[in-house]
Chain A
Amino acid sequence: MMLEAKNLNVGYGSRLIVKNINLSVASSDIISIIGPNGSGKSTLLRALARLLPVASGEIRLSGEDINKKNEKEIAKLMAFMPQSTDFPGDITVRELVSLGRMPYRGFLDEFGERDFQAINRALELTNMTIYQHRSVLALSGGERQRARLALALAQEPQLLMLDEPTTYLDIRHQLELMMLIHQLHDDLGLTVIMVLHDLNHAARFSNRIVAIKDGAILADGNVNRVFSEDNIKTLYGVENTILTLEEGGQKHLVCLPHDLVRRTGN
């Protein structure tokens, strides 16, 4: 088991956002976490990436408690790509990606041959090699996300976590990034956990969906089982139809939300 959360509670102050979640991630998984705004899906992901302190319960990465393990050792196993659009200002793509080698460098070490290989490979995998000497400020939205992905890949992680990677991108660049992530999963055997807003992306590009509502898991399993009209209705409060479209010899599940669920009673 790659990553395991047991009875996980996470919150800010006394308010719990993630309540008693149990989740096991296998190394072949590519998981999408879906759920409405404020459901705690991002909080869950950030806790799994040990960016938030755990209120109770534990998270194990390859069998070891992540809040007790050395930060650098964790950074060699997993990388997290936050949603923020923060960039450090005028640095080149290559400089940005080089920072991904941080966990491999000792206190006095300079970059070695091994680091250059990893940096070059990360740039190649994300098709950023031609932009490596360009300032990150001069990149388009899609290129920026690929540069950030290259930073994560330079860590040579086994587990990649992404928090809404396609936000702010147009549909072409969304598709490009999602296909790239899926390809990295297939080619490198990367375990992927991502929070996605676009349900159709979640259905197409993951093999497992975790649906979160009010900080708890509503459904967890393979796409065909979780991606159902009932689950989407409960999760988001929308009347919806799930269609199966065939395109290019592949079946795609597509969710069309067509009406709001009328709230009766109170």
Chain B
Amino acid sequence: MASESAVLRHPRALKRRAAIWGGLVFLVAALILGASSGIISLSWTEVREGIMGGVQSDNYRVVYLIRTPRVLCGALAGLNLALSGCILQGILRNPLADPGIIGVTAGAGLFAMFVMIILPEMTTLVPIAAFMGAILSVSIVFALSWDRGIQPLRMILAGVAVATFFGGAQTALMVFYSDKIQGTINWMAGGFQGASWTHVTMILPYSLIGLAVVFLASRWLNALQLGEETARSIGVNVERVRLVLLVIAAVLAASAVSVAGMLGFVGLVVPHMVRLVTGVDFDYLLPASAIWGASFIVITDTVARTVAAPVEIPVGVFMSFLGAPFFLYLLKKGMKQQ
């Protein structure tokens, strides 16, 4: 009982519940909206029949083979990116940390671009190449920042250096193959065009790992917020916890980037927005970030492909235009309260 009353009397109790339950409702609504809207607009009944019904109907093909994997891919990528950003911000104790900071995006970008330009006949391998590139550059960053455990400050510097190096290689590819970069630009902008069930199965295992982290690791992240010395004093093996969480953050981001391209914004901004509502307690911050990351991408992707139909606005572009002003609004509001 003591626990319950303490939770209820927390000044943010109501906001926290709203962030999680409201987020869940919003996510479900976004998923349904995403599956039913598009160039061929379908009612909810048609969507249901599309999924449950006969294999041969047109609705089935649209809903089951095109839209459902697309919204699911979006939701899972959003979940992974938001969790990754949230974990990184927690470990580095820096609200500006995002998956780009550990080299994920640079490595994925270079490898994906390499396949698309040099081996255009193998474009189906792009997600796998992007994943491998992300893991490779993250491994380099981790190795460079190792000194009896990963040192956060060294990691940020190593991340910048590695990103610069991989970015230079990308620029070189673009200059030397300027005639072939058309397709790569779309990928770089990020999006879910052509997302299939294969993509869903590629990203799903990592999302499950991410969800496990939500339930198991939030206390570690809370402890790390006390500073290294206090965290150690309460019995946390700081080096080990940091390494495990960083590896998880890296694969979460890598898996998302491999299917969705460069959607850096989500990992940076969603956890930040959520924190303004829930506060820094990771017991609430992690699940709320996961939910809002997922719904944020689903809703922006849906709007991006319908608002100017039949032209699709790249979701990454759309997200920045929508998210950045909203982010600034929240920041300004948060500052006033303090």
Q: Find out whether the CB atom of B235 lies under 8 angstroms from the CB atom of A76.
A: yes
- Within 8 Å by CB of A99, from B6, B223, B229, lies B223
A interface secondary structure, majority? mixed
Minimum CB–CB distance from A29 to chain B (whole Å) comes to 19
B333 interface hit (Cβ, 8 Å): no
B216 interface hit (Cβ, 8 Å): yes
Q: Find out whether the CB atom of B232 lies under 8 angstroms from the CB atom of A88.
A: no
B237 interface hit (Cβ, 8 Å): yes
Q: Find out whether the CB atom of B222 lies under 8 angstroms from the CB atom of A99.
A: yes
Instruction: Fill in one digit per residue for A53-90: 1 if any B CB lies within 8 Å of its CB, else 0.
Output: 10000000000000000011111101111101011111
Instruction: Count residues of A near B (Cβ-Cβ below 8 Å).
Output: 44
Decide yes or no: A71 and B236 within 8 Å by CB, A95-B281, A99-B222, A102-B223 being known contacts: yes
Decide yes or no: A99 and B234 within 8 Å by CB, A86-B226, A88-B225, A88-B226 being known contacts: yes
- CA of A120 to CA of B5 in the docked complex: distance in angstroms? 13
A111 interface hit (Cβ, 8 Å): yes
B interface secondary structure, majority? loop
- CA of A86 to CA of B229 in the docked complex: distance in angstroms? 10
B336 interface hit (Cβ, 8 Å): no
A152 interface hit (Cβ, 8 Å): yes
Whose C-beta in chain B lies nearest to the C-beta of A116? B2
A105 interface hit (Cβ, 8 Å): yes
Kindly list chain A residues whose C-beta atoms are within 8 Å of the C-beta of B280.
88-91
Indicate the member of B222, B230, B236 with the most A CB atoms within 10 Å.
Answer: B230
- Within 8 Å by CB of A89, from B6, B216, B225, B230, lies B225
Q: Find out whether the CB atom of A71 lies under 8 angstroms from the CB atom of B11.
A: no
Whose C-beta in chain B lies nearest to the C-beta of A120? B2
Kindly list chain A residues whose C-beta atoms are within 8 Å of the C-beta of B227.
82, 84, 86
Kindly list chain A residues whose C-beta atoms are within 8 Å of the C-beta of B229.
46, 49, 51, 80, 82, 84
B17 interface hit (Cβ, 8 Å): no
Whose C-beta in chain B lies nearest to the C-beta of A101? B234
Minimum CB–CB distance from A161 to chain B (whole Å) comes to 8
Kindly list chain A residues whose C-beta atoms are within 8 Å of the C-beta of B2.
116, 120
A-B contact pairs, 13 of them (CB 8 A): A46-B229, A72-B235, A73-B235, A75-B234, A79-B233, A82-B229, A82-B233, A88-B222, A88-B226, A90-B279, A99-B222, A116-B2, A151-B234
Complex A-B, nearest 3 residue pairs according to Cβ-Cβ distance, in ascending order: A75-B235, A88-B225, A103-B235
